[in-house]
Amino acid sequence: MNNRLYGNLIFELSKEGRKGYSLPKNRFGNYEIPASMQRQEPAELPECDEMTVVRHYTNLSANNFGVDNGFYPLGSCTMKYNPKINEEMAALPQFTNLHPIQPAETTRGAQAVCTLVKKALCELTGLAAFTLKPFAGAHGELTGLMVIRGYHESRGDETRTKVIVPDSAHGTNPASAAVCGLEILEVKSTKDGLVDLEDLEKLVAIEGPNIAAMMMTNPNTLGLFERDIPRIAKMIHDCGGLMYYDGANLNPMLGACRPGDMGFDVMHINLHKTFSTPHGGGGPGSGPVGVRKGLESFLPFVSPYESGNFAVVMRAYAYILSLGKENVKMVGPLATLNANYIKECLKDVYELPIDGLCKHEFVFDGLKDKSTGVTTMDVAKRLLDYGYHAPTIYFPLLFHESLMVEPTENESKDTIDGFIAVMRKIAEEAKNDPDLVKSAPHNTPIGRVDDVLAAKHPIVTYKQMIHDNN
Amino acid sequence: MMEKVGVKSLDDLYAEVPNEIRFKGDYQLPEQMSEVEVRQLFEQLGSQNEQLRCFAGAGVYDHYTPAAIPNLLSRSEFLTSYTPYQAEISQGTLHYIFEYQSMMAELTGMDISNASMYDGTTAAAEAVMMAVAAGKKQDTVLISETIDPKTLKVIETYAHFHGIKIEMIRQKDGTTDQTHLNDLLSQHQGKVAGILVQQPNYYGVVEDYSDYADTIHEQKGLFIMDCVAADLAVLKTPGEWGADIAVGDGQSLGIPMQWGGPYVGYMCCTEKLIRKMPGRIVGMTKDNRGQRAFVLTLQAREQHIRRQKATSNICSNQSLMALWVTVYLSLMGKEGLRDAAKLSYAGAHYLCDELQRTGYFLLTYEQPFFNEFCITCDKEVDILLKACVEEGFLAGVKINDHTLMLAVTEQRTKEEIDELVDTIRQIMEEMP
């Protein structure tokens, strides 16, 4: 990563008449597009030669930090290394040239990939069937909730419109439920960070006939395994509801415990987390949805083609094959070991609100020594100076200074020890030179940004920027 | 490491997991493969797919991908980064999203764009929900029958669970029946949150949407247009038609067909609606050193802040595919995008003329079209399509037993088109 800002916009490099393309000559004769069909003003797109375009985006990339640059302990995001063979396989022209509505007999190889991936996902989760249609985790969540509502509707159970969600849940859970026309019932967490069974019992007693489902991720967002999951599933099933598993935290369960065996009926998987497809700066992902036997017919039409984000599915399959049955089961234990090791090595200087074994991730509540005024935000920004991506901050909402670390199974002890040393150094700096930490980052292309200015006076296009400058 | 953690074995790390739900056996999965074996397997699977010369469209078009795009996209600083929450080390991503937003707003003639959506169909569904959320107790959306049936099916799925009523505007001779639209508007007075139409429509027809915006605005609803992105280089834009929201798929902007995805959905709207818009938005600001910088903004609309009150559950964009589109539009630029569109237009009209000259086909709808059209014959389309596959052609998409829809892009040469027409002529001659 380059520490100097390359700040140009492609529009600022544009010169009239420059071309970055070449096209065949028109040999079809004179087919003029009627003027009545045409736009009045041309789209003001940049005019650049190919070299200018290539240099521009190459320089932009140098202002970015990815997993290939360094350690990316972003909690809940499972930032694994993305093996390069997966990229090459996904780009094979025998697959990328296929039109999605090509006759089935001409796409046998592509179909085989989908069938094999679905089979592997069933095996790894203990569920009966999967669809690859959902494009992302949130899309999968919505799809799964549609399955659940569809199931209740089919039984004439129209009153079941409420979904129980723990207060520690990812924000997408309640948002997906709302898009699906469902209401949220929040269940509290105990001081140990687990679902409060008493509170849940009360909710079930009052709302039983209205409960469509309970949505959970296990381990939960604190990285803690919900050990009462069999009892929770029974409570929900007994009142007629279904159990939804948010697959965001599936990684530590590989080799340890399957959602189907925990009692879940419907789930989504983030292929871009557990199965190592690249996050691409925010997408494309893939969020296959699995269901228990008997629910297959409720899988809804949420995207046009059964293959979903097919090129992402291709990468996931290459990853599964490269690991094989022998190594898949090491994923969870090694991710869990890495997380616990970091936690144990840092808990004397960072506040660990809930002690004990975590799974793939854990949450600190900021620095132990609060007297310095150095916040979780400051620690996160200072980490950038040392060449690390920051952990997830201010989530979950249960603590004021949440700092959520997820190392994944990929990282070596050397890398992890390096991170631990830097985290300890920052804790020292917070004591000895708090202003240094509070004003971080110092070694990045830009300093802290003015979020308020951006939101108060939104400038979201180049045209608006030019207009504003005038 | 285990000593520090205080466990004796990796198994002990799961001590709290109840024994009855522990997974103890072996997964029924293939054994580990070396890299060369993985490659061999994929190549073998790839050989089971047939490579056809593509004249199919129906929303997915075989446009050319300039070589610089996959090359730039493989830069792992882009590829392996997450959503740009840490602006200080994500200016690369934030810059190109800002450029993407600027270009899509230009292309659609709208004020603003979000940072992209999953695909065109889900973008349309989000637009329908956005219109309902922007309205005042208006729960009905009118959709033209000339829209892509796949888009409609996705919208219907969302609408069913979200409690939105969909009414279809009938089609007449391949275009939206404006008389029926007016009937529906008076029938559902005060309830219509928006109308949704497609351009070019599913059948390739370029429709006349004059007065649509005024008509729906009188009822305080929104006008939503779903357009093929690449065609907007030339066609009258949603902005010029007076649309409030423009959505569609960006696949036509140089993204490979790759058997269905990933593609990228776009959503643009008027400035007035910015806070109702779903998805990520990148905005300009300054850093504490006084430099121009970009950042995710207006996050108060989003799920991680608003939870169940968010404008949508979407919490990502299709970032890398937005970069694909951005690099494509940078390379093609103002002239290239127009030239490619004109070439596709010319090729399609040439193919249409040549097919009609065989004497076996009639243009299904006597309407203006762009680079895709429907033709009707008295023979069975299924048989024709199958025979074409044997000759290495994907000769379009079946609309019904006697109607076929074909698309042409700048990639199809005159020789290929002539060969397709000859092949079809021969097949038709031999068909009973």
- State the DSSP string of A12-69: GG--TT----------S---PPPGGGB-SS--------HHHHHHHHHHHHTTB--TTT
Selected residue of B54, B81, B289 to mutate for chain A interface (largest A Cβ count, 10 A):
B81
Mean pLDDT throughout A433-439?
Answer: 98
Q: Say yes or no: A100 and A147 in one domain.
A: yes
Per-position DSSP letters for A235-292, written without gaps between them? HHHHTT-EEEEEGGG-GGGTTTB-HHHHT-SEEE--HHHHT----TTT------EEE-
Chain A residue at shortest CA distance from B209: A37
Find the residue in A nearest to B42 (Cα).
Answer: A89
- Single residue among A267, A297, A323 that ends a domain in this structure: A323
CATH number, domain containing residue A413: 3.90.1150.10
Contacts of A357 in chain B (CB under 8 A): 5, 7, 13, 15-16
A255 plus A377 within the same structural domain:
no
Between chain A and chain B, the number of residue pairs with CB atoms below 8 A apart is: 632
Q: Do B43 and A19 touch (CB under 8 A)?
A: no
Percent of chain B with pLDDT over 90: 94
ipTM of this complex prediction, to 2 decimal places: 0.97
Q: Which residue has the tokens 């093996």?
A: A83
- Residues A226, A122 share a domain: yes
A375: left (phi over 0), alpha (psi -120 to 50) or beta: beta
Task: Specify the fold of B53-63+333-430.
Answer: Aspartate Aminotransferase, domain 1 (3.90.1150)
Closest CB to B72: pick one of A54, A95, A280.
A54
Instruction: For residues A1-25, give the mean pLDDT.
Output: 96
**Is A9 an interface residue toward B (CB < 8 Å)?**
yes
Report the residue of chain A nearest B283, measured CA to CA. Answer: A460
Q: Is the pLDDT of residue B308 over 80?
A: no
Q: Quick one: pLDDT band at residue B431, thresholds 50, 70, 90?
A: confident
Question: Which tokens sit at B58?
Answer: 């129906």
pTM of the model: 0.97
Q: What is the pLDDT of residues A319-362, one digit of tens each?
A: 999 999 999 999 999 999 999 999 999 999 999 999 999 999 99
Residues contacting B40, CB < 8 A, separation 6+: none
What is d(CA B122, CA A140) in angstroms, rounded to the nearest whole number?
13
| Predicted confidence (pLDDT) at residue A441 exceeds the cutoff of 90 | yes
Start-to-end CA distance of chain A, whole Å, equals: 34
Interface test with A, best of B83, B289, B307, B324 (most A CBs within 10 A): B307
pLDDT, mean of residues A267-290: 96
Q: Is A402 left (phi over 0), alpha (psi -120 to 50) or beta?
A: beta
Q: Are A141 and B278 in contact (CB under 8 A)?
A: no
Q: What angle do CA B82, B86, B90 make, to 5 degrees?
A: 65
Residue A468: inside a domain, yes or no? no
Q: Is B72 near chain A, with CB under 8 Å?
A: yes
Q: Do B38 and A85 touch (CB under 8 A)?
A: yes
Looking at the structure, tell me whether residues A289 and A352 fall in a common domain.
no
In-domain check, residue A78:
no
The predicted-structure confidence for B203-233, as pLDDT tens digits, reads as follows: 999 999 999 999 999 999 999 999 999 999 9
Contact B38 A381 (CB under 8 A): no
8 Å CB contact of A455 and B297: yes
Q: Which of A323, A356, A381 is the last residue of a domain?
A: A323
In this complex, do A96 and B297 lie within 8 Å of one another by their Cβ atoms?
no
CA separation for the pair B294, B3 (Å, rounded): 45
For chain B, the domains span 53-63+333-430, 68-327
Are A223 and A199 in a shared domain?
yes
Phi, psi of B253 (to 5 degrees): -90, 55
Q: Are residues A57 and A99 in the same domain?
A: no
Among B98, B105, B97, residue whose Cα is nearest residue B270: B105
Q: Judge if A238 and A384 occupy the same domain.
A: no
Q: Is B300 on the interface with A (CB under 8 A)?
A: yes
User: According to the model, what pLDDT value does residue B311 have?
Assistant: 72
Asked if residue A374 and residue A310 are part of one domain, the reply reads no
Mean pLDDT of the A381-410 span = 96
pLDDT at A66 over 70: yes
Q: Are residues A130 and A253 in the same domain?
A: yes
Q: Is some CB atom of chain A closer than 8 A to the CB atom of B246?
A: no
SS3 A99: coil
pLDDT value at residue A49: 98
Residues A125 and A220 in one domain: yes
Query: Is B410 within 8 Å of A23 when comparing Cβ atoms?
Result: yes
Class of B68-327 per CATH?
A: alpha beta
CB contact under 8 A, A328 and B29: yes
Minimum-distance CB partner of B39 among A38, A85, A257: A85
pLDDT of B315 above 90:
no
Does residue A2 sit within a domain? no
B385 touches chain A (CB under 8 A): yes
Q: Identify the residue whose tokens are 């840092």.
A: A346
Among A46, A61, A76, the domain boundary falls at A61
Query: What residues in A contact B289, CB-CB < 8 Å?
Result: 446-447
Q: Provide CB contacts within 8 A for B156, sequence distance 6+.
A: A301, B166
The CATH number of the domain holding residue A317 is 3.40.640.10
Closest Cα partner for B73 from A14, A90, A444? A90
Q: Which residues contact A188 (CB under 8 A, 6 or more apart)?
A: A167, A196, A199
Q: Does some domain include residue A470?
A: no
Q: What pLDDT was estimated at residue B423?
A: 97
**Confidence at residue A1, expressed as pLDDT on a 0 to 100 scale:** 87
Residue A79 placed within a domain: no
Is A322 in Cβ contact with B107 (below 8 Å)? no
Confidence check: pLDDT of B307 > 80:
no
A71 lies in a domain?
A: no
What lies within 8 Å, CB to CB, of B429 at 6+ separation is none
Q: A residues 340-359 near B, CB within 8 Å? A: 340-341, 344-345, 357
> A113 and A55 in one domain?
no
Our count of domains for chain A comes to 3
Look up the domain containing A210 and give its range. Answer: 84-323
Asked if residue A458 is part of any domain, the answer here is no
Tell me the chain A residues in contact with residue B399 when contact means C-beta distances shorter than 8 Å: none
Nearby residues of B138 by Cβ (< 8 Å), 6 or more positions away:
B132, B190, B191, B192, B193, B220, B221
| Yes or no, beta carbons of B313 and A261 under 8 Å apart | no
H/E element, B425: helix B414-430
Q: Is the pLDDT of residue B305 over 80?
A: no
Q: Is B421 on the interface with A (CB under 8 A)?
A: no
pLDDT at B58: 97
Residue A391 sits in the same domain as residue A294: no
Q: What is the mean pLDDT of chain B?
A: 96
What is the three-class DSSP state of B277?
coil
